[in-house]
């Protein structure tokens, strides 16, 4: 399976988690966020940046997750009605933190808060099978300046 991650060019050759808090992880819990398509990866990136931050040098990582790696899936039906609201981050963080802590699955498939029927894939860099995940390609990416003027 191929997934995508838009990142600053300086991070183009490494799969690394920052430990910064996100929708699906608390501060200090290391998770790599990826998306099912380039388009979703760009939308996910866009909502977390100001207009000025979009003119930096970015690229898209195409990441290969071997098909034999087990993936845990969180379905919309498992989440509360307004799980995607910022106020409900803690609900998703508890799920993601537990997934990392249990370390049963190297990948967690979650619904996108932006496009509910699309999916993001979280990768646990501390899982024993993480070394099987690899960057397939890295290509330049520029945000269209009309996106956040």
pLDDT tens sequence across 89-143: 999 999 999 999 999 999 999 999 999 999 999 999 999 999 999 999 999 988 8
pLDDT tens sequence across 39-98: 999 999 888 776 556 767 889 999 999 999 999 999 999 999 999 999 999 999 999 999
CB of 80 within 8 A of CB of 88? yes
* Residue appearing with tokens 């993936």: 71
Domain ranges of the chain: 2-141
Q: Give the SS3 label for residue 128.
A: coil
Looking at the predicted structure, is the pLDDT value of residue 149 above 90? no
The pLDDT value given to residue 53: 65
Regarding beta strands 71-73 and 107-111, do their DSSP bridges make them parallel or antiparallel, or are they unpaired? Answer: parallel
């Amino acid at each position: 399976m191929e997934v995508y991650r838009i990142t600053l060019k300086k991070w183009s050759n490494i799969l690394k988690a920052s430990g910064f808090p996100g929708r699906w992880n608390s501060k200090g819990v290391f998770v790599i966020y990826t998306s099912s398509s380039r388009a979703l990866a760009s939308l996910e990136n866009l909502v977390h940046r100001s207009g000025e931050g979009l003119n930096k040098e970015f690229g898209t990582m195409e990441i290969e997750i071997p098909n034999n790696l087990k993936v845990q899936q969180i379905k919309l039906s498992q989440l509360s009605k307004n799980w995607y609201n910022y106020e409900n981050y803690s609900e998703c963080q508890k799920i993601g933190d537990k997934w990392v802590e249990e370390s049963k699955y190297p990948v967690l498939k979650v619904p996108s808060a932006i496009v509910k029927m699309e999916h993001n894939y979280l990768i646990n860099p501390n899982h024993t099978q993480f070394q099987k995940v690899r960057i397939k390609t890295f290509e330049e990416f520029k945000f269209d300046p009309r996106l956040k003027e």
